[in-house]
Amino acid sequence: MDRAIETLMNEHRVIEQVLGSLETFAINLRNHADGDREMVKDYGDFFRNFADRCHHGKEEDRLFVKMNAYGFPAEYGPIAVMLADHVEGRKHVGALVDVGSGSGPLTAEEREAVISHALAYVPLLLGHIMKEDNILYPMALQAVPAAEMEALADDFEAFEKGVMGDGEHERFHALAENLIEAYPPDPARMAAGAACTGCPGHM
């Protein structure tokens, strides 16, 4: 597999598992389980920094720019759909970050905010990942010359080092493992969530 696309897809697999964990956490909240503000903070940290700054940053600042040069405009078509998903996702993540930055036990209003935004964000991003893996990335591999895709893999490494800094990738993988262990994903729910929004018709 192309190294650049392999990097992005490997990140997708981690993100999917943390999405499943977030869904479990939100459903537990909905079922009146105690809510840990620190966990909300950790989910917000992971999705804002690893999923958005690191992963979506590679796409927006590197892959999508390269695809623009080979006939894929940002204003309409597949890239526009992906960018719109990123924008919508940031609204949900921002709400989690806001709750996580508070103090004391979660209020009833905060619990509802976490449940609402988490259960909207999970299927959005699962569907988004499915569209990228099965539609957008193959388009990139067809349109962009192999040598330029190979160079993109090195660009990804430089981008991550510049944006995230040394050791951050490992920190977020460790955070992901902790979240997944604390609130394990339900594979059946994850598959159903992705199916809702991940079909080719949404491109």
Chain segment 168-179, per-residue pLDDT in tens:
989 999 999 999
pLDDT at 34: 84
Give per-residue burial for 20-48: e unless 16+ CB within 10 Å, then b: bbbbbbbbebeeeeebebebbbbbbbbbb
Could you tell me which residue, 167 or 63, shows the higher pLDDT? 63
Q: Contact at 8 Å (CB) between 176 and 184?
A: no
Q: Contact at 8 Å (CB) between 132 and 72?
A: no
Q: Per the structure block, which two tokens stand in for 83?
A: 């960018």
Q: Render pLDDT for 146-165 as a digit per residue (tens, 0 to 9).
A: 999 999 999 999 999 998 88
Helix (H, G, I), strand (E, B) or coil at 185: coil
Could you tell me which residue, 203 or 70, shows the higher pLDDT? 70
Distance of alpha carbon 100 from the chain centroid: 18
pLDDT at 198: 44
Among candidate residues 18, 9, 47, 14, the one with its CA nearest the CA of residue 185 = 18
State the average pLDDT over residues 101-114: 96
pLDDT band at 187, cuts 50/70/90? Answer: confident
Token pair 């719109």 in the structure block, residue = 84
187 CB-near residues (< 8 Å, 6+ apart): 20
How far is 7 from 164, CA to CA, in rounded Å?
A: 16
Give per-residue burial for 190-203: e unless 16+ CB within 10 Å, then b: beebbeebbeeeeb
**Residue 13: pLDDT over 50:** yes
Q: Contact at 8 Å (CB) between 203 and 81?
A: yes
Distance of alpha carbon 151 from the chain centroid: 24
